[in-house]
Chains A and B, each alone.
Chain A
């Protein structure tokens, strides 16, 4: 009966106890990690000391003294490293955001075409998916950039002095709108008219459902917006915007919306690549909707468009959204290949800073934080979208 705390019997019992080994094992794992961490950190500081590089984030405020070719927020070489990184981050967000929209639209079209009853369209969509999915993204970027834009005509004496759009080896110049003094009033009035139109729409719909009155929702809502337009024109007596047409000035294109070949190649590359994956996700999602749902929708006499938008897609989206989110994350990560064609995204800027200062640890941490930020933004939005499409039970 005596409890032998340090006795042979209990020690053996301890050794045979899985719980004991679990704790010991984890202890050793922690010790190993601590040893690994301190050794690596020691090596790192030693190596950086030898190279004469300090560690610390205060360098962010010193002057960057390199230029960034493409930016949508103001930046000059006299600005700080931090500002340069922010310019890169905004550039990454820009190409990611536009790419997400375009890739979704293209993916949806190709995915639907994959299910078309037209054999030729189905085969073309399949060809698209197989070609773009089975070649590396970097190769596609090179193709758009070197075999696409570099082969376009250069600006020379044959270039027309003014044109609605230019497609040259220096990029794309489009006619765009530019704001005038009247733009503010137009936007304000149209926003107001839209809000009223939505209210009227809801009211007419409520009347139809509750009282059985002919609703004419389109007429009411359209009337409100039409009135808004007439009012805005009466007040300002001017068009809401001016067309800004690109034109040739000596050897440079001016005005309009100028899009660089780097940005366009990157955008085309990630859009076409990710769209091929999205197309397969859309196809799988639509095929996951039971056949009975199609038949029920058809037997109710719904038109193809209504059937797709009201019956099939809402159900398919529940299957589509989770893998779609991971494709969006892939797209955001894919934009980091920008460095290969010289578009100044966050990785490009971080790499330039590393080459100038040798601050490897800080650059790595900044990169991790930026991509974590982009991923979090995308995941957050997509989780909200996902939530709104979940089955809502009463």
Chain B
């Protein structure tokens, strides 16, 4: 017996693209309640946007923002030394460009998104009210980013290690440029403020909290009962307290816990200690998730090969565990970035603190909406870019595909 099967003919795929009219009917006006919702939403958007635009163009006085741009970004860093911040920015942008280029070496050079973003930044540099010199340097930095990106794509992979070394070396360099000494004029840590302090706090926080968090996570998963107990206790107490309480420990209790002859350690240092202890506990929980995702067979295989416990952890466990939690770690970094605002409660003048001190200036009394919209916008841009980057990273690592 044979079956008569219709021959399979090649037919083009059914077109799924809709005309604008059909799209609107399908996604906006398909049912009676969607029609009402759409109209209500359009009205709300229209009225809200109109109200905002009227306010922003007639009532708002944006001078409070444009006159204080330097304060927002660099805080009270001495004006004659601003060139050091430009160099820091240049170093970081150059290295980021190279790394970014290396990571995306296999993709097309000029995608539409990249061109749009570069053009957007260029327009922004042209529009924001800064001095001509600053505009020139900013433009130069954008160019540097693009050149570094292009170079990074060309670099052969044996330079990977050098890139890591360059990143490691950039930290002492940045610190030297910020703090001074060794031939440069010194800058007090109390003059580190504004967005500079926000970024610094977040980066230092994550740089120290990450190794501590990994140790705590390993401790919590350890088979040594005392180590496990201590790590669990530390993590749970830190996670049970609000950050403001942990900062209280760092800023108020820490000086009392140190020998009296040491005096008061630097205020910024104490604040950062609180921030680091707090984030370490959260990072530990993220890393623990990664550790638990490593199949048991991997550990057994490593032990069967005769590796000692340290090598098992360093060569087998951590590389697999950390890879899966990179997106979650970026998420932790974003929340740490937002939580640096709490430093302002203790008198450390980061972006929100400098906003408050600008508002205390009698020239700008009552200009809350403008200042907080601007500061909020800055926070938003950083957090949003990082969360987008985290999603991209998740896709490119193929975390959920394994």
Q: Do A and B come from one complex?
A: yes
For residue B299, give the distance in angstroms from its CB to the closest CB of chain A: 15
Question: Which 7 A-B residue pairings sit nearest by Cβ, starting from the closest?
Answer: A134-B383, A336-B242, A333-B242, A119-B27, A136-B338, A147-B368, A146-B368
Tell me whether A147 and B244 are in contact in the complex, defined as CB-CB below 8 angstroms, given that A43-B256, A340-B345 are known contacts: no
Tell me whether A50 and B260 are in contact in the complex, defined as CB-CB below 8 angstroms, given that A18-B309, A33-B230, A134-B384 are known contacts: yes
Tell me whether A131 and B372 are in contact in the complex, defined as CB-CB below 8 angstroms, given that A117-B30, A118-B34, A333-B241 are known contacts: no
Q: What DSSP secondary structure best describes chain B's contact surface?
A: helix
For residue B43, give the distance in angstroms from its CB to the closest CB of chain A: 11
Question: How many Å lie between the Cα of A44 and that of B380 in the bound state?
Answer: 41
Residue contact B27 to A364, C-beta cutoff 8 Å: no
Partner of A347 from the list B38, B244, B341 (CB cut-off 8 Å) is B244
Q: Which of B4-53 contact A (CB under 8 A)?
A: 27-28, 30, 34, 37-38, 41-42, 45
Q: Which of B98-139 contact A (CB under 8 A)?
A: none
- Taking residues whose C-beta sits less than 8 angstroms from the other chain, chain A's interface range is 35 or more
Q: Which of A2-44 contact B (CB under 8 A)?
A: 18, 22, 25-26, 29-30, 33, 40, 43-44
Interface residues in chain B, defined as those with a beta carbon under 8 Å from any beta carbon in chain A: 27-28, 30, 34, 37-38, 41-42, 45, 224-227, 230, 237, 240-245, 248-249, 252-253, 255-260, 309, 334, 338-339, 341-342, 344-345, 352, 356, 359, 366, 368-369, 372, 375-376, 379-380, 383-384, 387
Which of the segments A236-244, A293-301, A368-376 contacts the partner chain? A368-376
Residue contact B34 to A117, C-beta cutoff 8 Å: yes
Partner of A146 from the list B241, B372, B384 (CB cut-off 8 Å) is B372
Residue contact A337 to B244, C-beta cutoff 8 Å: yes
Q: Which of A352-394 contact B (CB under 8 A)?
A: 354, 360-361, 364, 367-368, 371-372, 375
Question: How many Å lie between the Cα of A51 and that of B241 in the bound state?
Answer: 27
Q: A116-B37, A118-B28, A336-B244 are in contact. List 10 more A-B contacts (CB 8 A).
A: A43-B257, A120-B38, A131-B380, A134-B338, A134-B379, A136-B338, A142-B356, A147-B372, A333-B242, A375-B240
User: 1/0 per residue A315-346: CB within 8 Å of B?
Assistant: 00000000000000000011011011000000
Residue contact A118 to B241, C-beta cutoff 8 Å: no
Is A152 interfacial (CB 8 A cutoff)?
no
Question: How many Å lie between the Cα of A347 and that of B249 in the bound state?
Answer: 13
Question: How many Å lie between the Cα of A48 and that of B380 in the bound state?
Answer: 43
Question: How many Å lie between the Cα of A33 and that of B219 in the bound state?
Answer: 15
Is A268 interfacial (CB 8 A cutoff)?
no
For residue A129, give the distance in angstroms from its CB to the closest CB of chain B: 11
Is A163 interfacial (CB 8 A cutoff)?
no
Residue contact B244 to A339, C-beta cutoff 8 Å: yes
Residue contact A136 to B226, C-beta cutoff 8 Å: no
For residue A224, give the distance in angstroms from its CB to the closest CB of chain B: 34
Residue contact B368 to A339, C-beta cutoff 8 Å: no
Is A67 interfacial (CB 8 A cutoff)?
no
Is A47 interfacial (CB 8 A cutoff)?
yes
Residue contact A138 to B41, C-beta cutoff 8 Å: no
Tell me whether A371 and B240 are in contact in the complex, defined as CB-CB below 8 angstroms, given that A117-B34, A118-B27, A118-B34 are known contacts: yes
Of A124, A135, A372, chain B has the most CB atoms within 10 Å of the CB of: A135
Partner of B41 from the list A18, A124, A361, A375 (CB cut-off 8 Å) is A124
When distances are taken between beta carbons in the complex, the residues of chain B under 8 Å from A375 are 240
Residue contact B224 to A22, C-beta cutoff 8 Å: yes
When distances are taken between beta carbons in the complex, the residues of chain B under 8 Å from A147 are 368-369, 372
Question: How many Å lie between the Cα of A146 and that of B355 in the bound state?
Answer: 12
When distances are taken between beta carbons in the complex, the residues of chain B under 8 Å from A367 are 241, 245, 248
Residue contact B244 to A372, C-beta cutoff 8 Å: no
For residue A15, give the distance in angstroms from its CB to the closest CB of chain B: 13
Question: How many Å lie between the Cα of A347 and that of B246 in the bound state?
Answer: 12
User: 1/0 per residue A130-150: CB within 8 Å of B?
Assistant: 110111111110110011001
Q: Which residue of A lies closest to B39 (CB)?
A: A120
When distances are taken between beta carbons in the complex, the residues of chain A under 8 Å from B258 are 43
Residue contact B342 to A138, C-beta cutoff 8 Å: yes
Question: How many Å lie between the Cα of A69 and that of B135 in the bound state?
Answer: 50
Q: Can you list 10 A-B pairs, Cβ within 8 angstroms, ordered by A?
A: A22-B224, A29-B227, A47-B255, A119-B28, A120-B37, A138-B341, A142-B356, A361-B253, A368-B240, A375-B240
When distances are taken between beta carbons in the complex, the residues of chain B under 8 Å from A337 are 242, 244, 342, 345
When distances are taken between beta carbons in the complex, the residues of chain A under 8 Å from B334 are 134
Residue contact B240 to A26, C-beta cutoff 8 Å: no
When distances are taken between beta carbons in the complex, the residues of chain B under 8 Å from A116 are 37
Question: How many Å lie between the Cα of A175 and that of B380 in the bound state?
Answer: 38
Question: How many Å lie between the Cα of A372 and that of B226 in the bound state?
Answer: 23
Question: How many Å lie between the Cα of A106 and that of B369 in the bound state?
Answer: 24
When distances are taken between beta carbons in the complex, the residues of chain B under 8 Å from A235 are none
Question: How many Å lie between the Cα of A94 and that of B366 in the bound state?
Answer: 31
Residue contact B243 to A333, C-beta cutoff 8 Å: yes
Question: How many Å lie between the Cα of A333 and that of B241 in the bound state?
Answer: 7
Q: Which residue of B lies closest to A36 (CB)?
A: B257
Partner of A150 from the list B253, B339, B368 (CB cut-off 8 Å) is B368
Partner of A120 from the list B28, B241, B387 (CB cut-off 8 Å) is B28
When distances are taken between beta carbons in the complex, the residues of chain B under 8 Å from A138 are 341-342, 344-345, 352
Question: How many Å lie between the Cα of A366 and that of B247 in the bound state?
Answer: 16
When distances are taken between beta carbons in the complex, the residues of chain B under 8 Å from A22 are 224
Is A151 interfacial (CB 8 A cutoff)?
yes
